[in-house]
Amino acid sequence: MGNMRSRIAVLSLVYSALGQTLGNNTDLICRPFGTCEPCPEDALHEPFCQPFGNRRLMHCALASSYSSHSPLPPVSPTYGHNPSSDHSAPPSISGSGPRQGEIPAWESCGRIVEKERADFYEFLMCNFVIAVIAVLVLFARSKRLQAMHARQLAARIGLVRGTPGGWANG
């Protein structure tokens, strides 16, 4: 329910950005333009940055603006938010911008695979370092306990350490 409300709110922002009276023809066709990228800190509360904090640039146009002879761009199931109101302008990818009549918008997208992979390996390395430290502490502690037990046993049976590196009867 909340996702539908955010889509409706985002669509209303896209419609208002078109600056046209849409009447009954309210179908938008959006095509992805670029890859998913992390949202800036000041835009994390926006619906297009939910739930993972990533967004993708979209180019949206009215469905009626595409002629029957021109191929339709890939249709996206979700619609974005007009990035012109954001503090960060949408990136220009390979010098091509939106076509005539299209507006840039943002779409929420899933996790960024490269970032998730890097986070996973960072997690593994942290666990490995913690495990190595734990094993070193275990060996140091067991060696210390072994030495303490040897001293206690020597004291019980009356051995004293008289010569360096050896035991003598006392």
What per-residue confidence (pLDDT) applies to 127?
Answer: 99
DSSP states of 78-115 as a string?
S--B-GGGSSSPPPPBTTB-PPTT-EEEEEE----HHH
Range of the domain at 88: 2-111
Residues 107 and 120 in one domain: no
What per-residue confidence (pLDDT) applies to 133?
Answer: 99
- CA 154, 155, 157, 159 torsion: positive or negative? positive
Q: Is residue 78 pLDDT above 60, yes or no?
A: no
Give the separation between CA 92 and CA 84, rounded to whole angstroms.
13
Helix, strand, coil percentages, rounded to 5, for the chain: 45, 15, 40
* Residue 38 CB contacts under 8 Å (≥ 6 apart), including other chains: 53, 54, 112, 115
Q: Is residue 26 pLDDT above 70, yes or no?
A: no
pLDDT in tens, 103-129: 888 888 888 888 899 999 999 999 999
Of 63, 95, 111, at which residue does a domain stop?
A: 111
pLDDT in tens, 29-40: 888 888 888 888
Of 61, 96, 111, at which residue does a domain stop?
A: 111
- pTM for this structure? 0.46
> Could you tell me whether strands 37-38 and 54-62 are parallel, antiparallel, or unpaired per DSSP bridges?
antiparallel
Q: Is residue 4 pLDDT above 80, yes or no?
A: no
Residues 36 and 107 in one domain: yes
Residues 163 and 106 in one domain: no
Domain count, the chain: 2
Residues 107 and 126 in one domain: no
Residues 11 and 66 in one domain: yes
Residues 20 and 94 in one domain: yes
Q: Is residue 101 pLDDT above 80, yes or no?
A: no
What per-residue confidence (pLDDT) applies to 167?
Answer: 59
Of 92, 111, 130, at which residue does a domain stop?
A: 111
Average pLDDT, the chain: 72
Residues 85 and 139 in one domain: no
Give the separation between CA 113 and CA 115, rounded to whole angstroms.
5
